[in-house]
Structure 1
């Protein structure tokens, strides 16, 4: 499957390599300069020449953008999958592997999160939606973002069902995430009668 993404403004799908990146944050993708100019009033709140190493990873392939922080998972938790129920630890790995991964972070990556993210993105989470750092297809913020949420539930005009909303995964621990729906996202073709 080809690596495709959507323009952040018109949602036109194209090969990611053919889309233009915002030259400041390197996260937002556009099909042309007109789309970038049109999106600037909402994008400028997130776009900066800051020293936050994760800004260039904010852009998602569906045209949405993570608005939270990228945070290293450092806590222990039980995997919610009833089949394995494993204890997970530092870096979002099995507890038995956590010390080894932490040592790689300290030695190989010299304690720099930016280097470690390139090696192990699933060890991080986005605080805006509770997805792990490896997830680059959509920020399911359910109405808290500057742009409409792109998840199917918000498009249907429905809040997240209990089976999803109440699920406690490691990347979601400690976050107060909204249930939705985002009223800006409701789309008639998704709404079921």
Structure 2
């Protein structure tokens, strides 16, 4: 059965379908159809969002270099993409002109793969290719052609500390935080508060 708009049931190629930005699962052909269906979709959408429970003791997980472990594969892909996109945003705001593209993301993944234990045990070439494909999917909210900001990360994950978590993960990958700064003292403080 072909995918169709949740509201009007039109299918591709008659319309272009896009996923709900919040739950990333329900398809709509337009903003008007999404608005028209919101009263019905709201409950299911919030359930899907709730399925992504925050990680307990995220800073301890970062300190132990297992922050990505125990997460579903699609969430891990999104976190890797968002970590890369946030670092590009940070670097550009620090005066470095860095392009956000698939080649840069591939180099980032190359580096992550050299850091023992950072990636979950299930990570392999097939999973990497799936992660790269998600980054190249222009219909997905975390595609590499779409810029990200600290505010959009907070909004997406519903956690004021999430940009810090992504930055600390990237520091473990690249060896330094934004602007060459070290976040180790901050990480140690956050671990003590958990």
Q: TM-score, normalised by structure 2?
A: 0.24
- Compare the two structures and name the one with the higher strand fraction: 1
